[in-house]
Structure 1
């Protein structure tokens, strides 16, 4: 990746968030890590990230953060979690509601940072999904549905980037992509993939699925 990129990791208080922040900082990026609790942001701050108390699922809070930051080169929403089991009968409303913030974070961050990412010379938006979207199971229907919706939204973001560039008669500079994990998310695999987002130009990267391995 090109050094000095500004990267927002939204909802970054997981192990994957810390691993990704650490890898980006080692590559020379400026990392802004968000979370809802100050104490959970401490490891990220100790790793060298700028930390911001902000709710990644809130369009209002993400818009305020975007206004404060100005130039941004990448946004990666990392709100996640898994609920499942019990077959189709076990797909409770409570589990669905618990999974919903992941989709809400994808929507809020992509909308709030749309203009800054399109203004960057190499803007990147990427989400973490799962191979369950290719073969949904009854016991994970809530989870698969949420991941599929997140992927659909991210593809719409990609189309928006392409259309904006085409309408302006400009080269495509922003790209939206999906990371797909098979099984449990491996933090180091995600970290490597995020750092490599700038290894491909936007036209090649936009609207692609990247397998995490």
Structure 2
């Protein structure tokens, strides 16, 4: 990866995908701030991910808490180059009629509100970075929703829409699209959506050695794709839905 070491924030850092992504960035020589809601879990995840990984605790559903998180990171890093948002969750039902409000409330908070808060608070940091990147993980269910997964697919669709709006913000603020045509800026920040059927990790393989997991994306593949975002031109990436499902 060309350029100086990066400072990257990984939200949802306690889960297997967060550990894989943090590990990949740390192995590439970058500073990582991994964020979770539970102190013990995020510290254990950071220890597993590597020496360059700093654990931080934050309730990402609270805007004030995310602002405090950003202040801490800005005090430790020269700049913030990337946010890889891995917070989500799954809720399913039998069909349309039995989609419970509790499931919508949970997914609205975990999949949508956390992303809104993180993208708003870190937007200026990423827009100012010479290689700013924002990424989220979505689902193939958005393009082909089922009745049973209606709540989940709708929440992911909303999160995708917000992320594509972030991409439009970068586009307008850079490459001369912000109205500053006298001094246009080359596009250097990008927001993207990774699309998967489902994520797979080593624990799942151990627990179900008989399964083939067709179409699943290994968390290590997701991690490599996240690191690879910084090797590609922002103008080519910005606003893209990148399919990782096989």
Q: TM-score range by the shorter chain?
A: over 0.9
**CA–CA distance in structure 1, aligned partners of residues 224 and 199 of structure 2:** 16
Q: CA deviation at 1:11?
A: 2.2
RMSD: 1.3
**Residue segments in structure 1 that go unaligned for 5+ positions in a row:** none
**CA–CA distance in structure 2, aligned partners of residues 183 and 116 of structure 1:** 30
Q: Which residue of 2 aligns with 1:197?
A: 229
Instruction: Assess if the C-alpha contact under 8 Å between 1:122 and 1:173 holds in 2.
Output: yes
For residues 78-130 of structure 1, what are the alpha-carbon distances to aligned partners after superposition, in whole Å with 9 as ceiling and x for unaligned?
Answer: 11111102111221111111212111111011000011111100100000000
* Residue 57 of structure 2 corresponds to residue 53 of structure 1: yes
* Residue 80 of structure 2 corresponds to residue 88 of structure 1: no
Q: Which residue of 2 aligns with 1:148?
A: 157
**CA–CA distance in structure 1, aligned partners of residues 58 and 199 of structure 2:** 26
Instruction: Assess if the C-alpha contact under 8 Å between 1:56 and 1:77 holds in 2.
Output: no
* Residue 223 of structure 2 corresponds to residue 208 of structure 1: no
Instruction: Assess if the C-alpha contact under 8 Å between 2:134 and 2:192 holds in 1.
Output: yes
- 1:182 is aligned, of 197, 200, 223, to 197
- Which has the larger Rg? 2
Q: What is the SS of the residue equivalent to 1:67?
A: helix
TM-score by length of 1: 0.95
**Residue segments in structure 2 that go unaligned for 5+ positions in a row:** 201-217
**CA–CA distance in structure 1, aligned partners of residues 226 and 157 of structure 2:** 20
Instruction: Assess if the C-alpha contact under 8 Å between 1:11 and 1:55 holds in 2.
Output: no
**CA–CA distance in structure 1, aligned partners of residues 231 and 188 of structure 2:** 13
**CA–CA distance in structure 2, aligned partners of residues 62 and 174 of structure 1:** 21
Q: CA deviation at 1:4?
A: 1.3
Q: CA deviation at 1:182?
A: 1.7
**CA–CA distance in structure 2, aligned partners of residues 183 and 10 of structure 1:** 18
CA distance change for structure 1 residues 45 and 184 in 2, over 3 Å: closer, same or farther? closer
**CA–CA distance in structure 2, aligned partners of residues 50 and 198 of structure 1:** 20
Instruction: Assess if the C-alpha contact under 8 Å between 1:21 and 1:44 holds in 2.
Output: no
- 1:121 is aligned, of 122, 130, 136, to 130
Q: What is the SS of the residue equivalent to 2:88?
A: coil
TM-score by length of 2: 0.83
* Residue 168 of structure 2 corresponds to residue 159 of structure 1: yes
Q: Which residue of 1 aligns with 2:20?
A: 19
CA distance change for structure 1 residues 184 and 69 in 2, over 3 Å: closer, same or farther? closer
**CA–CA distance in structure 2, aligned partners of residues 26 and 121 of structure 1:** 21
Q: Quick check: which one's helix share is greater?
A: 1
**CA–CA distance in structure 2, aligned partners of residues 57 and 187 of structure 1:** 24
After TM superposition, which residue ranges in structure 1, 4 or more long, deviate above 3 angstroms? Answer: none
Q: Which residue of 1 aligns with 2:212?
A: none
- 1:105 is aligned, of 107, 114, 119, to 114
**CA–CA distance in structure 2, aligned partners of residues 196 and 184 of structure 1:** 18
**CA–CA distance in structure 1, aligned partners of residues 37 and 30 of structure 2:** 23
